[in-house]
Chain A
Amino acid sequence: MLDCLTPRFDIERFGMLLAPSIKHADVLLVTGSCNRKSAIRLKRLYEQAPKPCVVVAIGECSLSRGMFIHSYNCPIPLDKIIPVDAYIPGCPPKPEAIISGAVKLIQKLKGTL
């Protein structure tokens, strides 16, 4: 996912930048399955983000916990913790897939999809 910020895939040309704090963020990208410890913090983070805040779930592990579905430490999938607006499947998703998902999201928000 950090590859998207680098010169080859440059997600900045679509208008996305890495924000230094959750209070300046419009989009929350989540990767990986949420376990018991991180679910509480993630909820708190989402509440701190100024609304409207869009949530994007990246990778199989955040879609439905992927292969960690039977793990004792990952009880619920991401969309039961916070509302998710876009899903990007893949394990791991290629940077091109992430950019394609981001562009679809922007079009959806603008109403042109």
Chain B
Amino acid sequence: MSGQEIGLALSVLLACAVEAVEAVTVVLAVGITRSWSSAFQGVGAALVALAAVVAALGPALTALPLNVLRLAVGGLLLVFGLQWLRKAVLRAAGLKELHDEAAAFVREREQALAAGEVVAGGRDPYAFAVAFKGVLLEGLEVAFIVVTFGSNQRNVPLAAAAAVVAVALVVGLAVAVRAPLARVPENAMKFSVGVMLTSFGMFWGAEGAGASWPGSDASLLVLIPGTLLVALAMVRWLARGVRRRSPALGEAA
């Protein structure tokens, strides 16, 4: 397996695991409080919609000339990566609330309980809609990453396999603990995904625009740790500002 393929598999695996944890929280909340069968129907419908997106976009992207594909995909990955990284840096610096799956589960459960009674044995539109929306919205970003990473390296099957492994791991864990996965280091995983997306976005975007990286693919071995170091430096810079503005808050962060 080449370095780029390892990067592809790792990025998709982490991104997919993060989104799967969030989707599982939503499905657990509506499944436990309302109707498991309707929640599973919602999950199934969302998975079909996601598969359709991948099936439609994958071949369309691989038909593009490689340079055009790398420019477009690199640019999009970079925009995505910078969004993930910005939120991850803000969380790590204490300027944005850490994502808490236990709290998200309680919130979803309260909303589900407040949405009226469930007809015994009947189909529950609320559970269906919430599960469908949760899985579709969390899955769209992953589908996009699978398609862009996979098509760029002409290896959609590897990207799809990494996504399937991630979902299987998360669902397996959720079934085992029968509770929201609050102990998964979600914020650290989001930080890693932001670093990977930004690094690959820079690499492919510049190549697509006509630039040549010194050392070709090996430059990723500098770009990825370099991006991580820059992001960590920005966490320290922001955290110092937080401490200056409010010493007590800074200590808590």
A and B associate in one complex: no
Q: Using a CB–CB distance below 8 Å, which chain B residues touch chain A?
A: none
Residues of A within 8 A of B (CB): none
